[in-house]
Amino acid sequence: MWPGDWPRPPVWQHNGHWQTIGAALWCRAGGPTAVRWQRTRWLTPDGDFIDIDHAVPPGAVALVVLFHGLEGSSASHYARAFAAVATQRGWGIAVPHFRGCSGEPNWAPRAYHSGDYEEVGWMLARAAQQWPMLPRVAAGVSLGGNALLRWLQEAGESAKATVRAAAAISAPVDLAAAGAAIDQGWNRLLYARHFLRTMRRKAHEKAARYPGLFDLQRALAARTLREFDDAFTAPLHGFRGVDDYWRRASAKPHLHAVRVPTLVLNARNDPFVPAASLPTPQQVSADVHLWQPARGGHVGFAEPIAPGDWRGDVAALPAQVLPWLARAAQIPLA
Q: Could you please report the per-residue DSSP string of 84-135?
A: HHHHHTT-EEEEEPPTT-SSS--SSS----TT-HHHHHHHHHHHHHHSTTS-
Domain with CATH 3.40.50.1820 in the chain: 16-173+254-328
Find all residues with CB under 8 Å of 14, minimum gap 6, and list them: none
Pick the CATH number of 16-173+254-328 from 3.40.50.1820, 3.40.50.1220, 3.40.50.300, 3.40.50.2300: 3.40.50.1820
Q: Is 95 in contact with 52 (CB distance < 8 Å)? A: yes
pLDDT of 2 reads: 72
Closest CA to 264 of 104, 178, 141: 141
- Amino acid letter, 234: A
pLDDT of 320 reads: 97
pLDDT of 26 reads: 87
E strands along 148-287, which residues? 166-169, 262-265
pLDDT digits (tens), the chain, 334 positions: 577 789 999 999 989 999 999 999 988 888 767 799 999 999 999 999 999 999 999 999 999 999 999 999 999 999 999 999 999 999 999 999 999 999 999 999 999 999 999 999 999 999 999 999 999 999 999 999 999 999 999 999 999 999 999 999 999 999 999 999 999 998 998 899 999 999 999 999 999 999 999 999 999 999 999 999 999 999 999 999 999 999 999 999 999 999 999 999 999 999 999 999 999 999 999 999 999 999 999 999 999 988 888 899 999 999 999 999 999 999 999 8
pLDDT of 1 reads: 59
Percent helix, percent strand, percent coil in the chain, to nearest 5: 40, 15, 45
Q: Is 139 in contact with 64 (CB distance < 8 Å)? A: yes
Q: Point out the residues that are catalytic.
A: 142, 270, 298
pLDDT of 4 reads: 78
Closest CA to 214 of 199, 201, 228: 228
Cα separation, 196 vs 215, in Å, equals 16
- Provide the edge-to-edge strand list for the sheet that holds 136-141: 38-43, 49-55, 92-96, 63-67, 136-141, 166-169, 262-265, 288-291
Closest CA to 263 of 141, 176, 124, 165: 165
pTM score: 0.97
Question: Strand 92-96 and strand 63-67: pairing?
Answer: parallel
